[in-house]
Structure 1
Amino acid sequence: MTDQERVINDVLAFTERNEEEQMFNNVKSYINKIKRQRDALKAELKKYESDEKITELKNEIDDLKANSLFIFSENEKKEEIQFKKEHRKCDANIYYYFEGTEFGVAVGLKCSECGFIKDITDYSRW
């Protein structure tokens, strides 16, 4: 092989390497673009799912409010549980009473056996 043929082969090999490298860089660039689009769509989907879940929970809360006579606060629930524990020995019914006022609804409990009445209203909700 002559020097001229060797130079031509080297130039062709160099050109092929550059073309391959350019094609490889184009493929990497395309893959990175697709990854960015995927990440953007993931974020959008997460936001959509989050908004959908919030709407679903708000609807559930509205349904509970519309179909419930009274919803106890955490403090009222604790007081109710304590009252039931204290009056378990009475082996009686526990009556709930609700009294509407100008500020809110007061709630109380009464043991049917011993007659003890306890106001468990959480006034902090008023």
Structure 2
Amino acid sequence: MKSQTIKKIAKYGLGAMLILAGTGHLTFARKKFRAQVPDWVPLKKDDTVVYSGIAEIALGTAVIAAPKKYESLTGKIAAAFFTAVFPGNYAQYKNRKNSFGLDTDGKRLARLFMQPLLIFWALKSTKR
């Protein structure tokens, strides 16, 4: 398979994953996402989940639909988003909150190492 085809599949997969996660924030996984909102966030946990869900849907749509000219920019924005939500993953680990099957310290710790992979995925799949 050509590298451009792989890159396109990765980009569309990233966009779809963001849209699905954002939809989960607003519907079927809303309560589970609250476990990842750090206590220091100055908004209500549910509001934070809703706002981040809307952002994820918009970001996923942008990753998929952005013209080639802006493809790299959307990837950088997605990488920044993944960086920005990392404190939520850390808070879930630190506060030992079970959610999304992350019900042991080891699983929650392993999840922390997924974030750099998401950042890499966002940058690599949208790089010009």
Q: Does the pair score TM above 0.5?
A: no
**TM-score, normalising length: structure 2:** 0.23
**TM-score, normalising length: structure 1:** 0.24
Higher RCO (C-alpha under 8 Å, 6+ residues apart) = 2
Question: Higher strand proportion, which one?
Answer: 1
